[in-house]
A and B are shown apart, each in its own frame.
Chain A
Amino acid sequence: MDLLRRRFVAHGVLAALGLLVGLAPARAEPASIIVASTTSTEQSGLFKHLLPLFEAKSGITVKVVALGTGQALDAARRGDADVVLVHDRPAEEKFLSEGFATKRQDVMYNDFVLVGPKADPAGAKGDDVSAAFGKIAAAQATFVSRGDRSGTHSAELRTWKEAGVDLPAVKGAWYRDVGQGMGPALNAASALDAYILADRGTWLSFKNRGNLAILVEGDKRLFNPYGVMLVNPAKHPTVKAKEGQVFIDWLISPEGQAAIASYKIGGEQLFFPSAAR
């Protein structure tokens, strides 16, 4: 009798475990695509605004994996994404020339801003980003770099070059390479009262600003265009080309472009549609 009861309990436990195991695999889902994109689009909240509109219209679920631009393109090279939406023109051109995509389309742009402590010890404030970077390097004022091969990191490295600063030669304790996404890098800059190059979208939605404020904006060199590409199904047959193309077509359609323009934080528009009509 006792043995029977024990058996009963043991089988009950096993059945409960079996139930949980059975629950875990995803149920048969409607059509879905994986979009490899950047931390700036995810952390600024843009996708949370766009995707429900697209999903309601198309019935296609979009799963966004937010990585740095370099990582996002690598994931697509391995065939782990159907669509990439990134912002590093030279890296995108390379991706195209390797044949991983056959077409790149402009979607939108925003801009970078130089953020730094309100007290501005390096005197970087102004409307010339090259001059500002030169002053920061000369003053050896603390600067936080993404250091993660992201689009923003590429833009930062370009800006040092344009400012005539030989980064490897002057790099020191003042230059903090954090190797993380935009949000964590901003958290670090906020804690260190440091200068940092940020995309405006993430900056606007960032809450832990501390003493930081925008010091340089509006320089045309701070222009930050985003491009969208369908991963070439000839390279990876598993790519959901049809659904991916539907998403791209929607993004660059008047409706998708209007949805991008309507995303605002505190009354400020974060991304500006730029698809060629």
Chain B
Amino acid sequence: MLQTLQETVSRLSSLDRDVLAIAWLSLRVSLTAVGIGLALGIPLGAFLAVTAFPGRGALVGLFNAFMGLPPVIVGLVLYLVLSRSGPLGSFGLLFTPGAMVAAQAVLATPLVAALTRQVVADAEAHLGEQLRSLGLSAPRRARALIHDTRFSLVTTALASFGRAISEIGAVLVVGGNIDGHTRTMTTAISLETQKGDLSLALALGLVLIGIVIAVNAVAALLRGHAARAYG
């Protein structure tokens, strides 16, 4: 164990360009997926928070449950859909970064929607009456509340980023872990573990954790800056 740790530290210093490329791909795929998740999930969650219609409760329950969607199932279903023999096979997306983005976006969207709904519903409880008394329509109320809760929504974005970049089940199945094309941090760590090169796997794991911490730190800085400037 101790020896593995020592080796890990020495491996860290010799990580090469390949590792940088893999880390960049992971970051690109997960950030894009989170971007899609935010673009779809925030309006959806806010809409669910400010409106009332039959079946809304069931829909909210569904999104809450889908926060725990197993990545490997998402990967498998997308594999069958994107396969050449599947309904969207003609796009040739299987085993490409695009397929990985799609899979992670499917994982991120319900998470964003569910968390946004909660945050906006809490704000609604305070300000809803006031906004309604101004005669604002539901979409405008949703927009006002999204704006009001924007700093809390940063946490939502970070949570979905954490889910996306750390999962392996979906990217492995739809990406195929192809060297130089669809190998991400998590699939690379898994591969090195399979090869029995535990110190390299651990070194890559430290890099991944570093990336997650860095992204969170940048978000915290931006949020603090924005809060001071416009809060």
Q: What chain A residues lie within 8 Å of B191 (beta carbons)?
A: 43, 183
Chain A residues numbered 182-223 whose CB sits less than 8 Å from any CB in chain B = 182-184, 186-187, 190, 205-209
CA distance A195 to B196 in the complex (A): 17
Which residue in B96, B101, B178, B195 is a CB contact (below 8 Å) of A64?
Answer: B178
Number of residues from B at the complex interface, CB < 8 A: 36
* Residue A120 lies at the interface, judged by CB distance under 8 Å to chain B: no
Residues of A within 8 A of B140 (CB): none
Binding stretch for chain A, among B26-34, B107-115, B206-214 = B26-34
Interface size of A by Cβ–Cβ distance < 8 Å? 38
A183 adjacent to B193 (CB under 8 Å): yes
Select from chain A the residue with minimum beta-carbon distance to B182: A63
Tell whether A187 pairs with B83 under 8 Å between CB atoms, given A2-B230, A26-B98, A64-B178: no
Partner of A80, one of B38, B39, B84, B226: B84
Given contacts A78-B83, A238-B92, contact A20 B28 (CB under 8 A): yes
Interchain CA distance A43-B196 in the complex, whole Å = 10
In the complex, what residues of B have CB within 8 A of residue A190's CB? Answer: 196
Contacts A79-B85, A80-B84, A238-B92 given; indicate if A24 touches B179 (C-beta within 8 A): no
Judge whether B83 and A66 touch: CB under 8 Å: no
Interface residue A277 (Cβ < 8 Å from any Cβ of B): no
Q: Using Cβ atoms and an 8 Å threshold, which residues of chain B touch A39?
A: 194
A207 touches B28 (CB 8 A): no
Q: For residue A23, which residues in chain B have a CB less than 8 angstroms away from its CB?
A: 28, 32
**Quick one: which of A44-93 are within 8 Å of B by CB?**
47-48, 63-66, 78-80
User: From residue A48, how far is it (CB to closest CB) to chain B in Å?
Assistant: 7
| With contact pairs A78-B85, A181-B194 given, residues A9 and B230 touching in the complex (Cβ less than 8 Å) | yes
CA distance A132 to B118 in the complex (A): 63
A64 to B32, CA, bound (A): 25
The answer to the question of B197 belonging to the interface, with a C-beta cut-off of 8 Å to chain A, is yes
A26 to B36, CA, bound (A): 17
Closest A residue to B82 by CB, please name it: A80
CB contacts (< 8 Å) of B226 on chain A: these are: 9
- Are B96's CB and A26's CB within 8 A? yes
Closest to B200 in A: A207
The listed residue with most A CB atoms (<10 A of its CB), out of B35, B98, B177, is: B35
Instruction: Name the residue in B97, B179, B182 with the highest tally of chain A Cβ atoms < 10 Å from its Cβ.
Output: B179
Question: Which of chain A's residues have a CB closer than 8 A to the CB of B96?
Answer: 25-26
Does B179 contact A47, Cβ atoms closer than 8 Å? yes
Instruction: Assess whether B181 is interfacial by the CB under 8 Å rule.
Output: yes
B32 and A20 within 8 A (CB): yes
Which residues from A are CB-within-8-Å of B31? 20
Q: Does B47 contact A (CB under 8 A)?
A: no
Contact pattern, B 80-99, Cβ under 8 Å of A = 1, otherwise 0: 00011110010010111110
User: Can you list 15 A-B contacts with CB-CB less than 8 angstroms, sorted by A residue number?
Assistant: A17-B35, A17-B38, A23-B28, A23-B32, A26-B181, A47-B179, A63-B182, A78-B85, A78-B86, A183-B196, A184-B194, A187-B193, A190-B196, A207-B197, A208-B196
- A residues near B, CB below 8 A? 2, 5-6, 9, 17, 20-21, 23-26, 34, 39, 43, 47-48, 63-66, 78-80, 180-184, 186-187, 190, 205-209, 236, 238
Q: Which 7 A-B pairs have the closest CB atoms?
A: A183-B194, A79-B84, A208-B196, A65-B176, A24-B32, A17-B35, A207-B196
New contact pairs (9) apart from A5-B229, A43-B195, A65-B176, CB-CB < 8 Å: A6-B230, A17-B38, A65-B177, A79-B84, A181-B194, A182-B194, A207-B198, A208-B196, A209-B196
